[in-house]
Structure 1
Amino acid sequence: MFHSTPRRRTFAALTTSVALVAALAACSSPAAVSGGGEAAAAPGITDDTVTIGTHTPLTGPAAAGYSSISAATKAYFDYVNDQGGINGRTIEYLVKDDGYNPATTQTVVRELVQEDEVFAILNGLGTPTHTAVLDFLNQNEVPDLFVASGSTSWNQPEKYPWTFGFNADYVVEGAALAQYAEDQAPDATVCLLGQDDDFGDEFIEGAELVLGEGGLAHIERYSVSNQDVTAQIGAMQAAGCEINLLATINGFTALAVGTAAKLGWFPQWYSSSSGGDYPTLVGYLGEDLGPKLLQGFTSSNYLPFSPSGEWVALFQQINDEYNDGAPFTGNTVYGMSVGYLFAEALARAGEHPTRQGIVDAITSGDLVGNGIVPLAFSADIHAAYLGVGITTVDQGVQDFVGATYVLDGDTVEAVEPEDVPVENAGVPTGD
């Protein structure tokens, strides 16, 4: 559930009360006015640049799974800059390594805000790391945009009005994957392996919305500090688990699948998007073994990464030209999709962007993004996506199977996925 607030998700309420947005804007400081009106220059804004920053693990235990995200975002911004930028401004993206260490996160984010004077923090990665700077950013009224974590902590607009999530949250993912398991194999024994923090807690919460309290036949937890899950996998095998839901990051998804294979056990795996990127998993498991072990692997996602999609074609082009030939993975699509959403918000903030102005643009309900379900942002909802699609791996290709679910309150509903067309070569205009 939301920390300190009741958890209620209303998928139908995707539009914002104009009166409420106006009231919020009226409560801002005189310099923080939205739109194109004249205003005092916002931090990080010049006539021809906007400077933003992020914290991310370029080194440390999470680097192998996530360090490529910020590079993909920067590649997208370089592409936009070559097209003339947003409202005549190029985007400068400062990336600082925090090693996935909350203490380091505090140091580098303070540097970004106080020394580099960034306009906003974009896509800070990790639940424990970003939690360490949540109060600081909101107390200093720094736009804290599109956090790279599925924790529901980011969706507390009254407590944290400057913070917005990006990922579909873990409750949504847990509920959707449990519903897919129920739809595909209603009599199967469903179990769960989860990280021993909010990731695992909220994923369990979502699964139990569908399966009922006690509906998970067996639950095991792991700590990222211990890269041995033999005991957990052995216990799940002994419990007769047939479908295993995974609240795991990529490294531990691969560890679970590989450990089970060593035990001669081959259940079905249903993973969160945070640990379900096929190319990354093959990188861990090896080109010979990975494709065999991951045949039929199921995961959730909310971004347009179908191999035949036009967003993938655009992002592959950008990756080839601006990202030094880096491998094209789900992280590439994720990083560029984050960059696109920021560019869209900046464009809608007007020719004279302010910090309050970009927040107003996000809560207006006018942003479209490029996901397969509509964005949920409003004055009352600071979560991006309240639904996910289901993907499977078949013969080395990971793609959506058509099943798409949204969480409306405590109810999972099946919906049709939506395709957002690429317009203006993928550079938002604010029109």
Structure 2
Amino acid sequence: MSQHSLARRVAAMAGASAVLVALAGCSTPAATGDPAQAAPGVSDDTVTIGAHTPLTGPAAAGYSSISAAATAYFDYLNDQGGVHGRSIEYLVKDDGYNPATTQTVVRELVQEDEVFAIVNGLGTPTHTAVLDYLNQNEVPDLFVASGSTSWNQPEKYPLTFGFNADYVVEGAALAQYAADEYPGKKVCLLGQDDDFGDEMIEGAQLALGEDGLTAVERYSVSNQDVAAQIGALKAAGCEINILGTINGFTALALGTAAQLGWFPMWFSSSSGADYPTLIGYLGEDVGPKLLQGFVGTNYLPALGGDSEWVALFQQINDEYNDGAPFDGNTIYGMSVAYLFAEALEAAGENPTRTSLIEAVQSGELAGNGILPLSFSEDSHAAYLGVGISVVDQGVQDYVGATYAVEGGEVTAVEQAPVALSGEGVPGS
């Protein structure tokens, strides 16, 4: 792994401690025991949090359902009594996957809506645009919906924590799986032209070596045409293509290749690997054929598995989400919401921004993933490993291969799924 990524995994404790001290100073009214004075966004009976997400624009079809699923989980939780007697109000604002709009809506959430925290802001280029702002204004920035390693810089951004397994981890896991299961195949990569693509490449090279990728192509979300990139990969003789793509561009890549009569193997980051979403793009006629054998990464309960978490989330979706389709994005959104509820419960009866951050980095949160959470004072990454999923006859499930990436090494590990408890209500 490159030095800059390794540096991001090693925190400067003094920076984090200084900001926590500053936060504590801002939150001293909590000592009175009056929850209404505990922190912005906290009243006697509610906790208000916010998020930016693409409800419109190029990423909406793949990701707009995440915030709806999170809202449905919070509605379910509120009907069970909420957390420490408070209901959670989740304010979701559309940024269209446009960084300039992200800046506007996040400022509205912080300055006008006075949210307690930003939770699961979505996108690498979009959230990067508000990273400094949130930390400078001492707003907890939790569980970012992106795998950029930028979120794991506790010395620079002590209030920011990721949720996704980072892209270095995903790129390394996919490349290692390719090397383990298909030795000798030509492995290539198509990646977004930002940190997403950069770090997928870095991860793949971690597993395969600096010269291990036969060809690399990049795309921009502003250009809905990848014919040149797919043509170049085909010409290079690529047999396995690793994708650092959002769902829409995953589908675009597969569809474009099919039009060229080219059918290589496709290995995708979790950000672009949700089977039902891809079927929505590709259509029921050709989608199942193009996606047979499609390889992805995941770190949450799998849609095609028999997890009790999936059964609970299906029930919540049916009752609280207006009959919306149930897919991997639904599981993702409810998993994030559950983790925030768990952190809020651990933050105490009169939560402050300080106690919330301390709860997240305590190392005691469990989440609901297939591997333990990695949060601590010196790591703001959620998952340092992923499982490999494969689509078979329309079912997307784990195949057993699971990889962790730490200290520059890619290692095969065993899954350790977190069991459902308390009907998905923290503290019950």
TM-score (norm 2): 0.95
The 2-side partners of 1:2 and 1:412 are apart by 14
Q: Per-residue deviation at 1:263?
A: 1.0
Flag the 1:87–1:22 CA change in 2: closer, same or farther, 3 A: farther
The 1-side partners of 2:29 and 2:355 are apart by 4
Q: Per-residue deviation at 1:226?
A: 1.1
Flag the 1:20–1:149 CA change in 2: closer, same or farther, 3 A: closer
The 2-side partners of 1:335 and 1:37 are apart by 35
Q: Which runs of 5+ in 2 are unaligned?
A: none
**Are 2:15 and 2:158, in contact at CA under 8 Å, matched by a contact in 1?**
no
Q: Once the two structures are superposed, what CA deviation does each residue of 1:98-140 show, in whole Å capped at 9, x if it has no partner?
A: 1111111111111111111100000001111111111111011
Q: Which of 342, 350, 353 pairs up with 2:351?
A: 353
1:287 is the counterpart of 2:279: no
The 2-side partners of 1:283 and 1:64 are apart by 9
Q: Per-residue deviation at 1:28?
A: 3.9
Equivalent AA in structure 1 for residue 335 of structure 2 = S
- What SS does the corresponding residue of 1:29 show, helix, strand or coil? helix
- What SS does the corresponding residue of 1:182 show, helix, strand or coil? helix
Equivalent AA in structure 2 for residue 203 of structure 1 = M
Q: Which residue of 2 aligns with 1:310?
A: 308
Please list, as runs of the form range in 1=range in 2, the aligned pairs for 1:238-249 lying within 5 A after superposition: 238-249=235-246
1:211 is the counterpart of 2:211: no
- What SS does the corresponding residue of 1:389 show, helix, strand or coil? strand
Please list, as runs of the form range in 1=range in 2, the aligned pairs for 1:176-325 lying within 5 A after superposition: 176-305=173-302, 306-325=304-323
Q: Mean alpha-carbon deviation: is it higher for 228-237 or for 351-360?
A: 228-237
**Are 1:34 and 1:360, in contact at CA under 8 Å, matched by a contact in 2?**
no
- Misfit runs of 4+, over 6 Å: 1-5, 19-24, 33-37
**Are 2:39 and 2:353, in contact at CA under 8 Å, matched by a contact in 1?**
yes
Q: Which residue of 1 aligns with 2:414?
A: 416
Q: Which residue of 1 aligns with 2:148?
A: 151
The 2-side partners of 1:317 and 1:288 are apart by 29
Q: Per-residue deviation at 1:44?
A: 0.3
Q: Which runs of 5+ in 1 are unaligned?
A: none
- What SS does the corresponding residue of 1:216 show, helix, strand or coil? coil
The 2-side partners of 1:372 and 1:36 are apart by 38
Please list, as runs of the form range in 1=range in 2, the aligned pairs for 1:20-419 lying within 5 A after superposition: 25-26=20-21, 28-32=23-27, 38=33, 40-305=37-302, 306-419=304-417
Q: Once the two structures are superposed, what CA deviation does each residue of 1:300-330 show, in whole Å capped at 9, x if it has no partner?
A: 0000124311111000000000000000011
**Are 2:197 and 2:218, in contact at CA under 8 Å, matched by a contact in 1?**
yes
- What SS does the corresponding residue of 1:51 show, helix, strand or coil? strand
Q: Once the two structures are superposed, what CA deviation does each residue of 1:330-376 show, in whole Å capped at 9, x if it has no partner?
A: 10000000000000000000001000110000010000000111100
Equivalent AA in structure 2 for residue 302 of structure 1 = Y
Q: Once the two structures are superposed, what CA deviation does each residue of 1:67-97 show, in whole Å capped at 9, x if it has no partner?
A: 1100000000000000000010000000111
Equivalent AA in structure 2 for residue 186 of structure 1 = P
Equivalent AA in structure 1 for residue 103 of structure 2 = Q
The 2-side partners of 1:81 and 1:226 are apart by 42
* Greater relative contact order (CA < 8 Å, ≥ 6 in sequence): 1
Equivalent AA in structure 2 for residue 351 of structure 1 = E
TM-score (norm 1): 0.94
Q: Per-residue deviation at 1:21?
A: 8.9
The 2-side partners of 1:106 and 1:25 are apart by 24
The 1-side partners of 2:350 and 2:16 are apart by 19
- What SS does the corresponding residue of 2:391 show, helix, strand or coil? strand
Q: Per-residue deviation at 1:22?
A: 8.2
The 2-side partners of 1:361 and 1:80 are apart by 19
Flag the 1:22–1:215 CA change in 2: closer, same or farther, 3 A: closer
The 2-side partners of 1:169 and 1:273 are apart by 10
Identical columns (%): 74
Flag the 1:60–1:180 CA change in 2: closer, same or farther, 3 A: same
**Are 1:5 and 1:156, in contact at CA under 8 Å, matched by a contact in 2?**
no
The 1-side partners of 2:53 and 2:2 are apart by 24
* CA-based RMSD: 2.2
Equivalent AA in structure 2 for residue 387 of structure 1 = G
The 2-side partners of 1:286 and 1:193 are apart by 22
**Are 1:34 and 1:356, in contact at CA under 8 Å, matched by a contact in 2?**
no
